[in-house]
Amino acid sequence: MVLWSRRHRMTSIGALAVSAAFLLSACGGGSTSSATSSSAPAGTAAGGIKLIKPGKLTTCTNLPYEPFQFKQGDKTVGFDVDIVDLAAKKLGVTQDIVDIDFAVIKSGAALNAGKCDVAAAGMTITPERQKNLLFSDPYFDATQALLAKKGTGAKSLDDVKAKGLKLGAQASTTGLDYVKGKGFNPTEFADSPKELLGLQSGQADVIVQDLPVVLTWLKKPEIASKFELIGSLNTGEQYGVGLKKGNDALVKVINEEIAKAKSDGTYEKIYVKWFGKKPGELGT
Protein backbone atom coordinates (compact mmCIF):
# COMPACT_ATOMS: atom_id res chain seq x y z
CA MET A 1 0.00 0.00 0.00
CA VAL A 2 1.04 0.69 1.06
CA LEU A 3 1.84 5.09 1.26
CA TRP A 4 4.52 13.52 4.13
CA SER A 5 5.48 19.83 7.79
CA ARG A 6 8.02 21.75 9.52
CA ARG A 7 8.11 24.40 12.29
CA HIS A 8 10.69 27.04 13.23
CA ARG A 9 13.30 25.93 15.76
CA MET A 10 12.12 26.17 19.34
CA THR A 11 14.36 27.46 22.06
CA SER A 12 13.75 24.49 24.33
CA ILE A 13 13.54 20.73 23.93
CA GLY A 14 10.22 20.72 25.79
CA ALA A 15 8.63 23.07 23.25
CA LEU A 16 9.89 20.95 20.39
CA ALA A 17 8.39 17.80 21.90
CA VAL A 18 5.01 19.52 22.34
CA SER A 19 5.11 20.72 18.73
CA ALA A 20 5.84 17.25 17.38
CA ALA A 21 3.10 15.69 19.48
CA PHE A 22 0.59 18.27 18.23
CA LEU A 23 1.50 17.61 14.60
CA LEU A 24 1.01 13.88 14.93
CA SER A 25 -2.27 14.15 16.80
CA ALA A 26 -3.55 16.40 14.01
CA CYS A 27 -2.54 13.99 11.25
CA GLY A 28 -3.18 10.65 12.90
CA GLY A 29 -6.26 8.50 13.26
CA GLY A 30 -7.65 6.72 16.29
CA SER A 31 -5.79 4.18 18.39
CA THR A 32 -6.57 0.78 19.84
CA SER A 33 -4.75 1.99 22.95
CA SER A 34 -3.18 5.18 24.20
CA ALA A 35 0.14 5.91 22.48
CA THR A 36 3.24 6.73 24.48
CA SER A 37 4.98 10.03 23.78
CA SER A 38 8.69 10.16 23.02
CA SER A 39 9.32 11.67 26.47
CA ALA A 40 7.80 8.68 28.31
CA PRO A 41 10.11 6.16 29.98
CA ALA A 42 11.02 3.37 27.59
CA GLY A 43 10.49 -0.26 28.49
CA THR A 44 13.11 -2.93 28.00
CA ALA A 45 12.27 -6.25 26.36
CA ALA A 46 14.23 -9.49 26.09
CA GLY A 47 17.78 -8.94 24.86
CA GLY A 48 17.86 -5.41 26.26
CA ILE A 49 15.84 -3.97 23.37
CA LYS A 50 14.22 -0.68 24.33
CA LEU A 51 10.52 -0.19 23.59
CA ILE A 52 8.44 2.96 23.96
CA LYS A 53 5.97 1.22 26.28
CA PRO A 54 6.90 -1.39 28.92
CA GLY A 55 5.68 -4.88 28.01
CA LYS A 56 4.40 -3.73 24.60
CA LEU A 57 5.67 -3.77 21.02
CA THR A 58 3.77 -0.77 19.65
CA THR A 59 2.84 -0.92 15.97
CA CYS A 60 1.64 1.98 13.82
CA THR A 61 -0.77 1.01 11.06
CA ASN A 62 -3.54 2.55 8.96
CA LEU A 63 -6.96 0.90 9.34
CA PRO A 64 -8.70 -0.72 7.65
CA TYR A 65 -6.61 -2.53 5.06
CA GLU A 66 -8.09 -6.01 4.96
CA PRO A 67 -6.65 -8.66 5.01
CA PHE A 68 -3.40 -7.06 6.26
CA GLN A 69 -4.87 -5.19 9.22
CA PHE A 70 -8.50 -4.53 10.11
CA LYS A 71 -10.95 -4.57 12.99
CA GLN A 72 -12.71 -7.78 14.00
CA GLY A 73 -14.98 -6.73 16.82
CA ASP A 74 -12.81 -4.68 19.17
CA LYS A 75 -9.63 -6.48 18.10
CA THR A 76 -7.25 -5.59 15.27
CA VAL A 77 -6.30 -8.66 13.24
CA GLY A 78 -4.70 -9.51 9.90
CA PHE A 79 -1.64 -10.83 8.12
CA ASP A 80 0.60 -7.94 9.19
CA VAL A 81 -0.58 -8.30 12.78
CA ASP A 82 0.42 -11.97 12.82
CA ILE A 83 3.82 -11.20 11.30
CA VAL A 84 4.65 -8.58 13.94
CA ASP A 85 3.34 -10.91 16.65
CA LEU A 86 6.22 -13.26 15.81
CA ALA A 87 8.70 -10.63 16.99
CA ALA A 88 6.53 -9.61 19.96
CA LYS A 89 6.47 -13.19 21.25
CA LYS A 90 10.22 -13.51 20.80
CA LEU A 91 10.67 -10.36 22.90
CA GLY A 92 8.28 -11.63 25.56
CA VAL A 93 5.82 -8.76 25.09
CA THR A 94 2.39 -8.22 23.51
CA GLN A 95 1.61 -6.14 20.44
CA ASP A 96 -0.22 -2.83 20.83
CA ILE A 97 -1.61 -1.26 17.66
CA VAL A 98 -1.96 2.46 16.92
CA ASP A 99 -4.14 3.60 13.99
CA ILE A 100 -2.59 6.63 12.30
CA ASP A 101 -2.53 8.37 8.92
CA PHE A 102 -0.42 6.48 6.37
CA ALA A 103 1.43 9.58 5.20
CA VAL A 104 2.73 10.12 8.75
CA ILE A 105 3.86 6.49 8.85
CA LYS A 106 5.73 6.38 5.55
CA SER A 107 7.46 9.73 6.20
CA GLY A 108 9.02 8.32 9.37
CA ALA A 109 7.40 11.07 11.49
CA ALA A 110 5.37 8.65 13.64
CA LEU A 111 8.42 6.57 14.53
CA ASN A 112 10.68 9.57 15.07
CA ALA A 113 8.16 11.11 17.48
CA GLY A 114 7.94 7.92 19.54
CA LYS A 115 4.40 7.02 18.52
CA CYS A 116 5.43 3.43 17.87
CA ASP A 117 8.33 0.97 17.76
CA VAL A 118 7.48 -0.41 14.32
CA ALA A 119 5.15 0.31 11.41
CA ALA A 120 3.31 -2.47 9.59
CA ALA A 121 0.74 -1.15 7.15
CA GLY A 122 1.01 -3.12 3.92
CA MET A 123 3.93 -0.83 3.20
CA THR A 124 6.03 -1.35 0.07
CA ILE A 125 9.77 -0.90 0.42
CA THR A 126 10.86 1.91 -1.92
CA PRO A 127 14.09 3.94 -2.23
CA GLU A 128 12.19 7.11 -1.29
CA ARG A 129 10.79 5.56 1.90
CA GLN A 130 14.18 4.08 2.77
CA LYS A 131 15.48 7.64 3.14
CA ASN A 132 13.19 8.05 6.16
CA LEU A 133 12.77 4.52 7.48
CA LEU A 134 14.76 1.42 8.32
CA PHE A 135 13.01 -1.57 6.75
CA SER A 136 13.00 -5.20 7.75
CA ASP A 137 13.63 -7.92 5.22
CA PRO A 138 10.63 -8.30 2.86
CA TYR A 139 7.78 -10.36 4.30
CA PHE A 140 5.28 -10.19 1.41
CA ASP A 141 5.55 -10.10 -2.41
CA ALA A 142 2.89 -7.68 -3.63
CA THR A 143 1.28 -6.77 -6.91
CA GLN A 144 -1.39 -4.31 -7.98
CA ALA A 145 -4.79 -5.08 -9.51
CA LEU A 146 -7.48 -3.28 -11.45
CA LEU A 147 -11.06 -3.50 -10.18
CA ALA A 148 -13.80 -2.22 -12.49
CA LYS A 149 -17.53 -2.04 -12.71
CA LYS A 150 -18.83 -4.87 -14.86
CA GLY A 151 -19.39 -4.19 -18.53
CA THR A 152 -16.56 -1.76 -19.23
CA GLY A 153 -14.90 -4.21 -21.61
CA ALA A 154 -11.50 -3.09 -20.31
CA LYS A 155 -8.80 -5.64 -19.57
CA SER A 156 -5.75 -3.44 -19.05
CA LEU A 157 -4.56 0.08 -18.33
CA ASP A 158 -4.26 0.62 -22.07
CA ASP A 159 -7.96 -0.18 -22.39
CA VAL A 160 -8.78 2.22 -19.55
CA LYS A 161 -7.02 4.97 -21.47
CA ALA A 162 -8.44 4.03 -24.88
CA LYS A 163 -12.01 3.90 -23.60
CA GLY A 164 -11.69 7.15 -21.63
CA LEU A 165 -12.62 5.46 -18.36
CA LYS A 166 -12.25 7.29 -15.05
CA LEU A 167 -9.39 5.84 -12.98
CA GLY A 168 -9.10 6.05 -9.20
CA ALA A 169 -6.28 5.26 -6.77
CA GLN A 170 -5.52 5.48 -3.06
CA ALA A 171 -3.46 8.52 -2.08
CA SER A 172 0.17 8.13 -0.98
CA THR A 173 0.44 4.60 -2.38
CA THR A 174 2.70 2.85 -4.87
CA GLY A 175 -0.39 2.03 -6.93
CA LEU A 176 -0.98 5.73 -7.40
CA ASP A 177 2.69 6.26 -8.29
CA TYR A 178 2.57 3.41 -10.79
CA VAL A 179 -0.41 4.67 -12.80
CA LYS A 180 0.89 8.24 -12.71
CA GLY A 181 4.08 6.86 -14.23
CA LYS A 182 1.95 5.46 -17.03
CA GLY A 183 0.56 8.89 -17.85
CA PHE A 184 -2.68 8.78 -15.83
CA ASN A 185 -4.01 11.50 -13.55
CA PRO A 186 -6.36 9.44 -11.36
CA THR A 187 -8.86 10.65 -8.80
CA GLU A 188 -7.21 10.19 -5.39
CA PHE A 189 -9.00 8.74 -2.38
CA ALA A 190 -7.77 9.10 1.21
CA ASP A 191 -7.93 5.38 2.07
CA SER A 192 -9.02 2.05 0.63
CA PRO A 193 -12.65 2.15 1.92
CA LYS A 194 -13.12 5.60 0.35
CA GLU A 195 -11.56 4.31 -2.86
CA LEU A 196 -14.03 1.43 -3.03
CA LEU A 197 -16.88 3.82 -2.26
CA GLY A 198 -15.66 6.03 -5.11
CA LEU A 199 -15.96 3.08 -7.48
CA GLN A 200 -19.40 2.18 -6.17
CA SER A 201 -20.68 5.75 -6.46
CA GLY A 202 -19.37 6.27 -9.99
CA GLN A 203 -16.55 8.68 -9.15
CA ALA A 204 -14.30 6.12 -10.85
CA ASP A 205 -14.95 3.38 -13.40
CA VAL A 206 -11.76 1.50 -12.51
CA ILE A 207 -9.53 1.59 -9.43
CA VAL A 208 -6.00 0.35 -8.77
CA GLN A 209 -5.33 -1.37 -5.45
CA ASP A 210 -3.19 -4.16 -4.01
CA LEU A 211 -4.33 -7.53 -5.31
CA PRO A 212 -5.04 -9.16 -1.91
CA VAL A 213 -7.25 -6.22 -0.93
CA VAL A 214 -9.21 -6.50 -4.19
CA LEU A 215 -9.60 -10.27 -3.78
CA THR A 216 -10.91 -9.73 -0.25
CA TRP A 217 -13.47 -7.22 -1.49
CA LEU A 218 -14.64 -9.65 -4.17
CA LYS A 219 -15.47 -12.26 -1.52
CA LYS A 220 -18.45 -10.09 -0.62
CA PRO A 221 -21.49 -10.89 -2.83
CA GLU A 222 -22.60 -7.27 -3.06
CA ILE A 223 -19.19 -6.36 -4.53
CA ALA A 224 -18.77 -9.41 -6.78
CA SER A 225 -22.22 -8.91 -8.32
CA LYS A 226 -21.33 -5.45 -9.68
CA PHE A 227 -17.55 -5.34 -10.03
CA GLU A 228 -14.79 -7.53 -11.46
CA LEU A 229 -11.03 -7.94 -11.47
CA ILE A 230 -9.95 -6.96 -14.97
CA GLY A 231 -6.20 -7.25 -14.70
CA SER A 232 -3.09 -7.52 -12.53
CA LEU A 233 -0.10 -5.20 -12.66
CA ASN A 234 3.11 -7.03 -11.85
CA THR A 235 4.95 -4.18 -10.16
CA GLY A 236 7.51 -6.32 -8.34
CA GLU A 237 6.77 -4.77 -4.94
CA GLN A 238 7.67 -6.17 -1.53
CA TYR A 239 6.32 -5.18 1.88
CA GLY A 240 8.58 -4.51 4.86
CA VAL A 241 8.15 -3.62 8.52
CA GLY A 242 9.29 -0.03 9.06
CA LEU A 243 11.41 1.14 12.00
CA LYS A 244 13.18 4.30 13.09
CA LYS A 245 16.57 4.59 11.46
CA GLY A 246 19.30 3.20 13.70
CA ASN A 247 17.06 0.68 15.46
CA ASP A 248 19.32 -2.18 14.38
CA ALA A 249 18.72 -4.39 17.41
CA LEU A 250 14.96 -4.56 16.90
CA VAL A 251 15.13 -5.02 13.13
CA LYS A 252 17.54 -7.92 13.71
CA VAL A 253 14.92 -9.69 15.84
CA ILE A 254 12.21 -9.08 13.26
CA ASN A 255 14.38 -10.39 10.42
CA GLU A 256 15.32 -13.48 12.41
CA GLU A 257 11.69 -14.25 13.18
CA ILE A 258 10.59 -13.76 9.57
CA ALA A 259 13.36 -16.11 8.39
CA LYS A 260 12.51 -18.67 11.07
CA ALA A 261 8.80 -18.58 10.19
CA LYS A 262 9.58 -19.13 6.52
CA SER A 263 11.82 -22.11 7.31
CA ASP A 264 9.61 -23.90 9.85
CA GLY A 265 6.26 -23.56 8.05
CA THR A 266 4.77 -20.90 10.31
CA TYR A 267 4.82 -18.27 7.55
CA GLU A 268 2.93 -20.54 5.17
CA LYS A 269 0.27 -21.21 7.81
CA ILE A 270 -0.21 -17.48 8.40
CA TYR A 271 -0.33 -16.87 4.64
CA VAL A 272 -2.98 -19.55 4.03
CA LYS A 273 -4.97 -18.29 7.02
CA TRP A 274 -5.40 -14.82 5.50
CA PHE A 275 -5.21 -15.40 1.75
CA GLY A 276 -6.57 -18.93 1.35
CA LYS A 277 -3.60 -19.90 -0.81
CA LYS A 278 0.07 -20.73 -0.36
CA PRO A 279 2.82 -18.19 -1.11
CA GLY A 280 3.25 -17.87 -4.87
CA GLU A 281 -0.30 -18.96 -5.62
CA LEU A 282 -2.12 -15.71 -4.94
CA GLY A 283 -3.97 -14.47 -8.01
CA THR A 284 -3.93 -17.88 -9.74
CA-to-CA dists, residue 210 to 61, 170, 176, 253, 261, angstroms: 16, 10, 11, 27, 24
Alpha carbon distance 144, 208 (integer Å): 7
In a domain, 15, yes or no: no
Q: Which regions of 12-138 does DSSP assign to beta strands (E)?
A: 43-44, 50-51, 56-61, 70-72, 75-77, 94-99, 118-119, 134-135
Q: Do 39 and 130 belong together in one domain?
A: yes
The reply to whether 103 falls in a domain is yes
For the stretch 37-57, pLDDT in tens is 333 345 676 678 999 999 999
- Give domain status of residue 18, yes or no: no
* In the chain, % of residues over pLDDT 90: 79
Q: 128 with 245, same domain?
A: yes
Same domain as 79, residue 153: no
Q: How confident is the model at residue 284 (pLDDT cuts 50, 70, 90)?
A: low
What does pTM read for this prediction?
0.77
Range(s) of the domain holding residue 201: 142-237
